[in-house]
Structure 1
Amino acid sequence: MRGRQLRRWSTCLVVAATVVSSTACGGGDDTSAGTAAADAAPARTDRKTAELAAGKAALAAYSGYLTASREASGRSDPHLPELSTFVGDPLLTRLRLSIRQAKRNGAVRTGKLVSDPAVVSVSLDTVPPTVEIQDCLDATGYQLVYARDQKVVPGTRGTRHLVTATATRYPDGRWLISAGAAHQDQPC
């Protein structure tokens, strides 16, 4: 009977020692390594969450930019308030100049854009923080036409091509599309 009790005690001690050593991450003075690893996991999670949120906000700004620019171009209104809701300088100034030029020539944009954007990179450590977006924009149904007769302006037929855009977080916390380029020589 005494032998069985000793075995039970030794088994309990072995189990207890195993549990204590595995929960202490090696025990002794190395607890700072365990704490650092534990702190790094939430930091990585917080970082990933912040990057996902930034990407989502940037894509929302990009979608708003496409909608507002299409509406402003269709009305020949370079000062449509929605433009400044989604677009920041220097792109805002370029966009307004383009709409103003079309208006001077009696042209408006009509039709539909088909967009399929994706976040390419998120840079939260830059000043200001930025998100790069890439899109395969289908502008084949989006045309520049003369307002008086709706005839297509020669040489302005839309294509399906690569578009890149940069969303920037401004000091007030808003994500605005601040730069963009149409790569019409790169079909997608």
Structure 2
Amino acid sequence: MLRKRLAGYAVVLCSAVLLTSCSSSSVRVAPDPAADASEQAMAAYWAFRDAELKIYSTGSLDGVGDIKTIARGEALKHIQRNLAYFRGAGLVMKGRPVLSPKVQSVDLNSAPPTARIRDCQDSTNYVSIDKFTGEFKFPGNPPSVGHYIAERVDSHWIISDLASYSNEKC
């Protein structure tokens, strides 16, 4: 009797496992290359912004790794110019900008493939201070719109261009 009951439980358990494995999770959805590219471009954007924060808050490239894996073209020049200015003026940044990026478009047919990112960035509480004394020097900037271009280089995405417009509404 006990043996029949255990065998019955085993049959029910195996049936449940088989039915569960045949549920909707086995339905394959076609990959969306544009959505994948959008996610990867956004990850590149966040890596770029995180590197900027680290560089500008320390006045150094130390601990960032190879900046050329994050930025190239005008975006790389932007970081290099700002770093040279901060070093020359003895400034670093304190605080964090509030960022709200969104991928506006993805073009997988361009060479290289590109994604355009628009960010409403509020740098009001991202201020310049004297690197050596900690003394407040300059206030942050009011909200502005930044436009960034990410490009797929080899197998990864990298920020290649940027522009900021204070007259464009967030």
The 5 Å alignment of 1:57-68 reads 57-68=40-51
The 1:130–1:81 alpha-carbon spacing in structure 2 relative to 1, beyond 3 Å, is: same
The CA deviation at 1:185 is: 2.5
The CA deviation at 1:100 is: 1.6
The CA deviation at 1:183 is: 1.1
Out of 77-86 and 93-102, give the one that drifted further.
77-86
Runs of 4+ in 1 over 4 A off after TM superposition: none
Match of 1:88 in 2: 72
Partners of 1:133 and 1:82 in 2: CA distance = 23
What CA deviation, in whole Å up to 9, does each residue of 1:28-85 have, x standing for no partner?
xxxxxxxxxxxxxxxxx55xx0000000001111111111100011111146326333
Contact 2:123 2:143 (8 Å CA) reproduced? yes
Partners of 2:157 and 2:47 in 1: CA distance = 11
TM-score (structure 1 length as normaliser): 0.68
The CA deviation at 1:91 is: 1.2
The CA deviation at 1:152 is: 3.1
Matched position secondary structure for 2:167: strand
The CA deviation at 1:173 is: 1.2
Amino acid at match of 1:61: A
Q: Does 1:122 find its partner at 2:106?
A: yes
Match of 1:99 in 2: 83
Amino acid at match of 2:124: T
Aligned identity (percent) is: 24
Gaps of 5+ in 2: 1-29
The CA deviation at 1:157 is: 2.5
1:178 alignment partner, one of 151, 157, 160: 160
The CA deviation at 1:138 is: 1.4
Partners of 1:84 and 1:64 in 2: CA distance = 12
Hey, which of these two has a bigger chunk of helix by percent? Answer: 1
The 5 Å alignment of 1:134-145 reads 134-145=118-129
Match of 1:54 in 2: 37
TM-score (structure 2 length as normaliser): 0.75
